[in-house]
Structure 1
Amino acid sequence: MSKEILQLENTNANDFKNEIVKDVTNALKGYAETLQNPEIDKLLTRQETCEMLSISLVTLWDWTKKDLLPAYKIGNKVRYKKQEILLALQQMNKFSS
């Protein structure tokens, strides 16, 4: 077992504590939003994803192959996370403007 040493410079204990509290609070807010909206982490089939995006299965396959949409293999099935699809759409729109 090795020890790791953390050395902080130019900060006091109170500032350090406040930064930790701020980061933990932000992480918990994100988790709370997920709990309030369980649909956001829903796994979608390829067909459901195509319907949501109004694209064909060929286009979905192409976007997945190009890493525009992250896909998850569960056994021999492919699934997409709804939240990641929405984020990918935002990224695609950002590039085109």
Structure 2
Amino acid sequence: MTKQILQVENTNNEDFKNEILNGVKSILTDFQKSTVKEDTLLTREETAKMLSISLVTLWKYTKNDVLPAFRIGSKVRYKKSDVILALQQMNQFD
């Protein structure tokens, strides 16, 4: 295993720190943009499968406002981000 040495010249500590912070912010912003896809709409079946529950239990969660649902005509849909958030809240230990 060989060591790699990075030598930085013509910069001060503050500029170097800001450059690193900007790089990290950029990576986090890109990651956040990639997670926006979680707002896709799921069917009742997809949601129940994702949570490993029955459709009856899903209906109870919706009725008791544990999981918000959206009605589009006669169809019921769930936002994937809402499902993940509800799952996280259900799994919190107080």
How does the TM-score come out when normalised to structure 1? 0.61
Q: CA deviation at 1:60?
A: 0.2
Q: CA deviation at 1:38?
A: 4.5
Q: Give 5+ residue unaligned stretches, structure 2.
A: 1-28
Q: CA deviation at 1:37?
A: 3.1
Percent sequence identity over aligned pairs: 58
Equivalenced residues, count? 65
One-letter amino acid matched to 1:87: L
Give the aligned partner of residue 89 of structure 2.
Answer: 91
| Aligned pairs (5 A) from 1:43-82 | 43-82=41-80
Q: Give 5+ residue unaligned stretches, structure 1.
A: 1-28
- Structure showing greater radius of gyration is 2
* Structure with more relative contact order (C-alpha pairs < 8 Å, separation 6 or more): 2
The alignment yields a C-alpha RMSD, in angstroms, of: 1.7
Looking at structure 2, the residues matched to 48 and 39 of structure 1 have their Cα atoms a distance apart, in angstroms, of 16
Looking at structure 1, the residues matched to 91 and 34 of structure 2 have their Cα atoms a distance apart, in angstroms, of 27
One-letter amino acid matched to 2:58: L
SS at match of 2:53: coil
Looking at structure 2, the residues matched to 37 and 60 of structure 1 have their Cα atoms a distance apart, in angstroms, of 24
List per-residue Cα deviations over 1:9-61 (Å, max 9, x = no partner): xxxxxxxxxxxxxxxxxxxx5xx82x423431110000000110110000000
How does the TM-score come out when normalised to structure 2? 0.62
